[in-house]
Amino acid sequence: MNKINKTALRQLHYKIAPIMIFPLLLTVITGTLFQVAVVTGNSSNFIWLLELHRGKFGRINLEMIYPFLNGFGLLMLGVTGTIMWLQTRRRN
């Protein structure tokens, strides 16, 4: 395996992380809150949470690509973070 440029990898991770934290947090929070609404029997009052969870932001409808963007971003953060972690463990 070719040695990965540590600086470029850290820069990629550093640039992706702030962009991906908002959609990931939004997905987790809206999904959890909607599940609480379902359990309490109030799901019909909180359909708007489900729409946000799926990527429908008013006139902007990203329902078709939002899950893939979330998944890809999470995968990239996981891969770059794991590679950086493995590189630091090799030094120690």
Q: Which residues contact 61 (CB under 8 A, 6 or more apart)?
A: 55
The values of phi and psi at residue 11, to 5°, are -65, -40
pTM value?
Answer: 0.73
User: Nearest Cα to 74, choosing from 36, 30, 19, 2?
Assistant: 19
User: What are the domain boundaries of the chain?
Assistant: 6-80
Helices 66-91 + 6-39 axis angle, to 10: 130
Tell me the sheet residues that pair with 61: 56
pLDDT per residue as tens digits for the range 25-77: 999 999 999 999 999 999 999 999 999 999 999 899 999 999 998 998 899 88
> What is residue 2's predicted lDDT score, i.e. its pLDDT?
53
